[in-house]
Amino acid sequence: MSLANAKQSQLLCKLARLLSGNLLNSEDKQYIIEILNTPLDDPYRITNTVLAKVLRQEGFDISSRTIDRHKNQECTCYRKVNK
């Protein structure tokens, strides 16, 4: 995970902010990180849709699209800061 190296938290997407903030305990964060790192071909994989649904039930405004973008490194976390 390169997120810890992110210099400015406002450049992180909602998912990364959730993972770097203190709204979740470290156990929950670890669980989410494990889900994000699970290979797509793992039959027991929890899908982004399910993860997003659970997070929304917990009161977090995270969509499966947000998770998709973070997983695919298309979110603000991975956007080049220096041009």
Q: How far is the CB of 5 from Zn ion (least distance, A)?
A: 13
In this chain, which of 32, 55, 67, 75 binds Zn ion, going by CB under 5 A?
75
Any contact of residue 70 with Zn ion (CB under 5 A)? yes
Q: Is 13 in the site for Zn ion (CB under 5 A)?
A: yes
Cβ atoms of 62 and 14 within 8 Å: the answer is: yes
Q: Cβ of residue 13: shortest distance to Zn ion, in angstroms? A: 3
CB neighbour burial string for 17-27, b if at least 16 within 10 angstroms, e if fewer: bbbeeeebeee
Q: Under the criterion CB under 5 A, does residue 67 sit at the interface with Zn ion?
A: no
Q: Which of 30, 34, 6, 24 is nearest to 62 (CA)?
A: 24
Asked whether position 19 contacts Zn ion by CB under 5 A, the answer is no
Cα angle for residues 21, 4, 9 (degrees, 5° grid): 50
Does residue 52 touch Zn ion according to CB under 5 A? Answer: no
Residues binding Zn ion (CB under 5 A): 13, 16, 70, 75, 77
